[in-house]
Structure 1
């Protein structure tokens, strides 16, 4: 009896080893094989090419697709001389299959988080002003303890940032324009005033604060209409009856800064990091209230459960917001 039990336990141990089920060794979560095969045929466009990629016989793959069509109760593909084309029913099923595969991967990441193994990619869209130091420092600090997480960063204007967030193209945004859409929730806010950046020998460089009316006396290098700073500048100009005649407009803040370094131009940009993030320029806060009270917002889509890497990155960003030198109006939600 003992010998029989020992043989059974030995067989069970071998089976677990083969299947990767030993205690402490996690298995990769996988969708159903029929869904994987269906997705492969869609991606490769034919049974033969998909079978080659999957390293199985074409006849076996074709049987799997026929079984799936029988299960669904309708044809999923049109069989054409040069390949396979989805029917309307096939397109509907493809959307479900790919969404379920994505959700399964997300569940796998969350389970890894329970074991302290955060992996994946954080997708974040930001205003250009945070790219010189604020965002790179935050990412570097986070990856010091989460080496398995990568980042994909997009730089754009405020409308495009909110659009990307609403479509779930990104997990988070950092924007200077307060999101007004009900589908967006602000996670944190910190004051980031608008400043004039000038060369050290510029006549304005000796002042601690200047008004927009002081700046218009010199060539202006200002953000174009796609960036949030432009709306603030135009608001102040309208309130103070100033006429803006920019010498240079661009959606690239670095281009504007480089232009200001070369002469008597005044570049207008948000202050996000320390003064030394703009070498060769003196940073002077604007005294006009809309500019001096400007903010940076960290936001996510309302109601969305963030992927584990993005949620844990937020926990790193919040203290950085709280410690920012301009955090007099900081509101952390």
Structure 2
């Protein structure tokens, strides 16, 4: 797989913009790495890097080479999975990007179920909300993206789409604790915790707050749903999260926001359009889509 190693060297320099930094990461001397790149450029018949005073930068040809490298690595991973299947052993690696709302128990549960059947498959889960999650597909950093209210993305093939309610979280002894939907105006009579604008659920909340013509008392604002959920247990505030992301805790009351105030939130499982996924990722996507359909 000598050619794949050369492609790995090129990708390393493109990623770091530095021969020295890439050489350290790839465990090769800078002079040897320079020769590898020069040999490749000579064979290609065209330079792929701009040599700048501050380092190396891929030119237009280099960007095409980088996309070729990403495709080659993806194809090789798929080949390894297919060869493993010939012997009846499913191997592979599944990189997946997900919104925070799925990181608490949905994905841990699904990964556990898959690895119970195929223990030789490994996973890399990175928490990326909204646009960064879509970008992880385009950059081949993730095979799959499980996202809340993703932005329009023509390069994403949707494998599953559904809707779940946005919920109000409060302590079980909070005055609004109970069952069934709760109106947003009632929540706003109490201090609240808000997700910051990097999280997808903030946009529909902002629209609803504007429509309610209310000035909420914001006790805490954060890009961490876990922090807000844990702080909710410490003070009589109300925070917000999609239903699928909330663990079942006896001290936590979870009530859906009335649909008259905020419509259910869209959740999407997607992959890069036109890409043939490695077998392990494709099979996990099938399992995950079936599970999401039961929520």
TM-score range, shorter chain: 0.7 to 0.9
Q: Deviations over 1:259-305 (max 9, x none)?
A: 111121001111106761x4521001100346342122111111111
**Structure 1 unmatched ranges of 5 or more:** 1-29, 51-61, 78-84, 325-333
Give the alignment's TM-score, normalised by structure 2.
0.78
Q: 2:78, 2:277 within 8 Å by CA — same for their partners in 1?
A: no
Alignment-derived partner of residue 117 in structure 1 = 89
Q: Compute the displacement of 1:73 (Å).
A: 6.7
Q: Separation in 1 of the partners of 2:172 and 2:9?
A: 64
Q: Which one of the candidate residues 147, 153, 156 is aligned to 2:125?
A: 153
Q: Separation in 1 of the partners of 2:159 and 2:201?
A: 21
Q: 1:37, 1:65 within 8 Å by CA — same for their partners in 2?
A: no
Matches within 5 A, 1:136-215: 136-215=108-187
Counterparts in 2 of 1:191 and 1:252: CA distance versus 1, 3 Å = same
Counterparts in 2 of 1:320 and 1:254: CA distance versus 1, 3 Å = same
Q: Which one of the candidate residues 273, 280, 284 is aligned to 2:251?
A: 280
User: Across the two proteins, how many residue pairs are aligned to each other?
Assistant: 274
Q: Separation in 2 of the partners of 1:189 and 1:100?
A: 26
Q: 1:232, 1:290 within 8 Å by CA — same for their partners in 2?
A: no
Alignment-derived partner of residue 274 in structure 2 = 303
What SS does the corresponding residue of 2:255 show, helix, strand or coil?
Answer: strand
Q: 2:193, 2:237 within 8 Å by CA — same for their partners in 1?
A: yes
Q: Compute the displacement of 1:97 (Å).
A: 8.5
| Structure of larger gyration radius | 1
Counterparts in 2 of 1:233 and 1:35: CA distance versus 1, 3 Å = closer
What SS does the corresponding residue of 1:284 show, helix, strand or coil?
Answer: strand
RMSD: 3.6
Q: Compute the displacement of 1:224 (Å).
A: 0.6
Q: Separation in 2 of the partners of 1:240 and 1:287?
A: 13
What SS does the corresponding residue of 1:305 show, helix, strand or coil?
Answer: coil
Alignment-derived partner of residue 322 in structure 1 = 293
Give the alignment's TM-score, normalised by structure 1.
0.70
Q: 1:122, 1:150 within 8 Å by CA — same for their partners in 2?
A: yes
